[in-house]
Structures are given as structure tokens and as C-alpha cells.
Amino acid sequence: MSIWFGEPTVEELNARHTGSLNEHLGIEVTELTEDSVHGRMPVDQRTTQPAGILHGGASVAFAESLASWGGYLTVDPARFHCVGQEINANHVRPGLPGTWVHGVATPLSRGRRSQVWDIRITDDAGRLVCVSRCTLAIVEAEPRR
């Protein structure tokens, strides 16, 4: 049974990236399963550090993007927003230029006021590059004026 509110599609999510950090970093949602968000991000001039490998901050931005999409998809967007509250990351292998990193975000806890997501980022060969945990706050949406 799906954890998503409604029936979201990958195409709808990617269409919402226009003008955002996700678009600037080349982050794409690639798949939605019943309980996870999958995505990818290129390791290129937008996402590398001066030493030429994947920048840890880009990995964190990728991880939080996937977790945030996951949180957003589990609540009624007319009533709630999901916002990042805390994130941590362990960088365990370099992402190499000219490749992609792939992320999978799955919920560890989905409460009424907060959610905790586990994000695993791997390289094209499936080797772990980064493991991250992101806490999202669930806040009431302000009425639109």
C-alpha cells in the first residue's frame, strides 16, 4: 500500500524543479515506489569541489531534496508543508566526474509533526557514496491571501 497522498508522478515532480536548486544542480526524480523516492544527480562542474570530486554539500542538497519530496508527497499540500529541520551526512566514497550519483529516500518515521528520512546515495556501480538522515517538520500551511 502506497504512503503517498494522491497519485503523484515522476513527471509532475520534475516539472516543478524549474528555477529551483534542483534544476541548477541537475537533480531529477527517477522513480516513486510505494514507499520511496529515487533520484539522480550528475557529478559535473555544478556539483564538484575544486579537487574535482563530488562536493559534500551537493550530496547533502541532493539528500534533502529527495527527503523533502518524500515528505511533501505524504501530506495534504492544501493543509501542510514539510520543511527541513535537521540533516546529517557521512561521505564514504568520492563521486567521480562524468558519472551520476543515485539516491533513494525512505521514511524511518512519519509522525503528525515530524518525519525522519533515510537517504542512501550510490555511484553508477552501486557503491555507497553518502548516507544521510533528514528530519522534516510538518507545519500547517498558511491560508493563501
Catalytic site residue from 11, 12, 34, 64: 64
- C-beta separation of 53 from 26 below 8 A: no
CA nearest neighbour of 104 among 47, 33, 42: 33
**Is 64 marked active-site?**
yes
Cα torsion 130, 135, 108, 111 to 10°: value is: -170
Q: Which residues contact 31 (CB under 8 A, 6 or more apart)?
A: 10, 37, 38
Cα separation of 67 and 116, whole Å?
Answer: 8
Catalytic (active-site) positions: 64
